[in-house]
Structure 1
């Protein structure tokens, strides 16, 4: 039996993260991401890892801010 706890969510919250802080590793599906989260959890006992799906990227052209 695994010592890893996985809590699937029925309703999802949203988070905003700066793109430069995103991990470089990308996964094709939630299963692959879950396997990696479990692996990292074993390396860092007590840490919580969240599997997220990117749904949009939002940015502003720096030139657009100069006039404000």
Structure 2
């Protein structure tokens, strides 16, 4: 089952944020590890680089869903 894409752009004091909300049927520790561990996130959703933390920046690249090719 594919969950429809949802999200919104929220303006902030220095630009814009993309806000995506999801609910997962998994222990919170596993979900959090899949977000903050680059290797786990790559297997699940995509890659990120940068200096993660409040007020800092990361660059995020979403990979294609299973069976499709990523777009450039």
Higher strand proportion: 2
TM-score tier after normalising by the smaller chain length? under 0.3
Larger Rg: 1
**Higher relative contact order by CA 8 Å / sep ≥ 6: 1 or 2?**
1
Query: TM-score, structure 1 length as denominator?
Result: 0.25
Query: TM-score, structure 2 length as denominator?
Result: 0.25
